[in-house]
Chains A and B, each alone.
Chain A
Amino acid sequence: MKEIISKLNKQFESRIRLGIMSVLMVNESVDFNTLKELLDTTDGNLASHLYALERNSLLEVRKQFVGRKPNTRYKITESGRFSFREHLNYLEKLMKNQFK
């Protein structure tokens, strides 16, 4: 059990990061405000988590302007998709262990 926990993917240790990745898995791209609404969090908190995920190249950022307003969209990368699936596999293992 302990050995499994040590393998826990650090990327997904926070609720917000896991949430961001869940949303990006099923949407082609999502903008900042939509993520903020869905995850019910603050600008600063969300931005720092997004930045962490970007740094680990789990997601891509695309900045553009809608009229005069900046609009930032996020998209999952291949490695992001892979890591998320791995995390799901890991959760599955944990649950199987729990119910043994």
Chain B
Amino acid sequence: MEQNQEPIQQINEIRNLMERSSRFISLSGLSGISAGIIALIGAGVAFFYLDFDQRYFDINRYFTEMSYQKLGSSWLFITTDAIIVLALALFSGIYFTTLKARKQGLKVWDNTARRMVINLFIPLTAGGVFCLILLYHHLVFLMAPATLIFYGLALINASKYTYHEIRVLGISEIILGLMASWLVGYGLLFWAVGFGVMHIFYGMMMFFRYESVRK
């Protein structure tokens, strides 16, 4: 019946099963690229909506003008913008990853995917709650850095169950987050780099490493 063949085939099979059963290998680089582009557009919209008046490049003006009445009026717009960005980024991410899984002949929602998502969401949920608490304490200027730091931690946690590039991406997000919490006026800029440029960069790296060369 299913007797073993050549040792080289056996070893290939062992390696394939070990990879497939322990890591989520359907994550597509295109997911990162598309999420990054969407984040950049979203950040651009927010930037122009906030009058393009260098508010984010001048810390003193940021503290005086980014007061509550100002933020109060743009609150709804910015929140809507953020929710749309999040929804579109998630949707496109899931779309490209499903596409890749189908191409590989694998199921998208398997055990490895579940483990990756659970481990991603533990720090991410903590970060979300922490941001709400920041909002409650009127520490809005720390929200962009906090999202970056917690997102980075979440990626590092999830990277154990998928490609190691995700780990490096996580470290980059944490560094950006720490820089953003030091240079508080540049929140949106750091956010655009972290969620936009970094996703595109690492997405392209993953795409060229794992997807474009394969037949």
B 5-37 binary contact with A (CB < 8 Å = 1; else 0): 001101101100110111000000000000000
Could you tell me the dominant secondary structure of chain A's interface residues?
A: helix
Q: In the complex where A18-B13, A91-B10, A94-B7 touch, is A26 in contact with B2 (Cβ < 8 A)?
A: no
Closest Cβ–Cβ distance, residue B108 to chain A (whole Å): 12
Cα–Cα distance between A91 and B11 once the two chains are bound (Å) = 8
- Assess whether B17 is in contact with A14, with CB atoms less than 8 Å apart: no
Complex CA distance for A94 and B11, rounded to whole angstroms: 11
In the assembled complex, the Cα of A12 lies from the Cα of B20 at a distance in Å of 20
A13 to B4, Cβ gap below 8 A? yes
A35 to B46, CA, bound (A): 48
Nearest-CB distance from A82 to chain B (Å)? 16
Cβ distance B189 to chain A, nearest Cβ, rounded Å: 41
Binding site for B on A (CB under 8 A): 12-16, 18-19, 22-23, 25-27, 30, 34, 37-39, 88, 91, 94-95, 98
Prevailing SS type, chain B contact patch = helix
A56 to B117, CA, bound (A): 36
Q: How many A-B residue pairs have CB under 8 A?
A: 52
Residues of B within 8 A of A15 (CB): 2-4, 13
Smallest CB-CB separation from A23: which chain B residue?
A: B21
Distance between Cα atoms of A9 and B152 in the complex (Å) = 45
A19 CA / B107 CA spacing, docked (Å): 18
Contact B18 A37 (CB under 8 A): no
* Partner among A23, A91, A94, A95 whose Cβ is within 8 Å of the Cβ of B17: A23
CB of A68 to closest CB in B, whole Å: 21
Q: Which of B2, B13, B18, B107 is within 8 Å of A25, CB to CB?
A: B18
Please determine whether A22 and B18 come into contact, CB atoms closer than 8 angstroms: yes
What's the nearest-Cβ distance from chain A to residue B63, in Å? Answer: 50
B111 an interface residue at 8 Å Cβ cutoff? yes
- Give min CB distance, B51 to chain A, whole Å: 54
Known: A27-B21, A30-B21. A18 touches B14 (CB 8 A): yes
B3 contact from A13, A88, A91, A94, Cβ within 8 A = A13
Query: 7 tightest CB-CB pairs across the interface, nearest first?
Result: A15-B2, A22-B17, A26-B22, A23-B21, A22-B14, A91-B7, A94-B7
5 CB contacts below 8 A, A to B, read A13-B3, A14-B2, A15-B13, A22-B21, A37-B110
